[in-house]
Amino acid sequence: MANRRPVVRGLRKRWLISSVGPVVTILILLAIFAVGAVDNNYYGGARASLEAKAKAGADYFNTYTMSSYSEYYRTASLYVATFDESDVIELQFLNVAGRIETSTRGLTAGTSPGTPEISRAIDSRQVAAYQGADPATGERIMAVSSPLVFNGTVVGVMRYVTSIRQIDRQALLTGAVAAAIIVGVLLLVVVTSLLFINKVVEPVAEVSDAAKRISGGSYGIQLSNRYPDELGELVDNINDMSLKISQSEKMQTEFISSVSHELRTPLTAISGWTETLLADVGGDEEQSRRGLGIILKESRRLSNMVEELLEFSKMQDGRFTLRMETVDLQAEFEDAIYTYRELLRQEGIALEYSDGDQILDRPVSGDPERLKQVFYNVLDNAAKHGGAGKRISAGIRLENDEYVLTVRDYGTGIPEAELPYVKQKFYKGSSKARGSGIGLAVCDEIVERHGGTFTIANAEGGGAVVTIRLPAEAQQK
- Per-residue model confidence as pLDDT tens digits over 96-146: 888 998 898 876 777 888 899 999 999 999 999 999 998 888 889 999 999
- Least trusted range by pLDDT, from 73-77, 164-168, 252-256, 400-404: 252-256
Residues 132, 247: one domain?
A: no
Residues 296, 387: one domain?
A: no
Q: Identify the domain boundary among 279, 294, 317.
A: 317
7: left (phi over 0), alpha (psi -120 to 50) or beta: alpha
Residues 345, 250: one domain?
A: no
pLDDT at 468: 95
Does the residue 409 lie in any domain?
Answer: yes
What number is the average pLDDT over the span 134-159?
A: 88
Q: Where are the alpha helices (DSSP H) in 125-164?
A: none
| CATH number of the domain encompassing residue 273 | 1.10.287.130
Residues 383, 295: one domain?
A: no
- Least trusted range by pLDDT, from 4-8, 323-327, 418-422: 4-8
| CATH number of the domain encompassing residue 21 | 3.30.450.20
- pLDDT band for position 8 (cuts 50, 70, 90): very low
Does the residue 188 lie in any domain?
Answer: no
* Domain span including residue 411: 325-471
pTM across the whole model: 0.46
Percent of the chain predicted with pLDDT > 90 = 17
Residue 11 has pLDDT above 70, yes or no: no
Residues 10, 159: one domain?
A: yes
Residues 330, 459: one domain?
A: yes
- pLDDT band for position 1 (cuts 50, 70, 90): very low
- pLDDT band for position 5 (cuts 50, 70, 90): very low
Residue 363 has pLDDT above 80, yes or no: yes
Sign of CA dihedral 301, 305, 306, 311: positive
pLDDT at 211: 77
Does the residue 212 lie in any domain?
Answer: no
Interhelix angle 439-449/368-386, nearest 10 degrees: 140
What number is the average pLDDT over the span 419-445?
A: 71
Residue 56 has pLDDT above 80, yes or no: yes
Residue 6 has pLDDT above 50, yes or no: no
Q: Do residues 97 and 155 touch, judged by C-beta distance below 8 A?
A: no
Does the residue 448 lie in any domain?
Answer: yes
Residues 349, 293: one domain?
A: no
Residues 301, 407: one domain?
A: no
Q: Do you know the residue count of the chain? A: 477
pLDDT at 316: 63
pLDDT at 361: 82
Residues 409, 442: one domain?
A: yes
Residues 6 or more apart from 95 whose CB is under 8 A from it? Answer: 101, 155, 156, 157
Does the residue 90 lie in any domain?
Answer: yes
Does the residue 76 lie in any domain?
Answer: yes
- Least trusted range by pLDDT, from 118-122, 210-214, 469-473: 210-214
Per the structure, the count of domains in the chain is: 3
Residues 79, 57: one domain?
A: yes
Residues 263, 381: one domain?
A: no
pLDDT at 303: 79
Percent of the chain predicted with pLDDT > 70 = 84
What is the pLDDT of the chain when averaged over all its residues? 80
Residues 6 or more apart from 236 whose CB is under 8 A from it? Answer: 225
What number is the average pLDDT over the span 225-249?
A: 75
Sign of CA dihedral 180, 184, 190, 191: positive
Q: Identify the domain boundary among 269, 296, 317.
A: 317
Residue 82 has pLDDT above 90, yes or no: no
CA distance 433 to 252: 17
CA distance 64 to 87: 27
The pLDDT tens digits for 251-287 are 677 666 666 666 776 788 788 878 877 777 666 777 7
pLDDT at 432: 55
Residue 223 has pLDDT above 50, yes or no: yes
| CATH number of the domain encompassing residue 432 | 3.30.565.10
Helix (H, G, I), strand (E, B) or coil at 170: helix
Phi and psi (nearest 5°) for 227? -120, 125
Residues 6 or more apart from 134 whose CB is under 8 A from it? Answer: 113, 115, 140, 141
- Least trusted range by pLDDT, from 12-16, 18-22, 59-63, 339-343: 12-16
Does the residue 73 lie in any domain?
Answer: yes
Does the residue 333 lie in any domain?
Answer: yes
Higher pLDDT, 265 or 346: 346
Across 28-37, 165-174, 214-223, the highest mean pLDDT is recorded for 165-174
Residues 458, 343: one domain?
A: yes
Helix (H, G, I), strand (E, B) or coil at 393: strand
What number is the average pLDDT over the span 430-447?
A: 72
- pLDDT band for position 2 (cuts 50, 70, 90): very low
- CA proximity to 39, closest of 114, 109, 131: 131
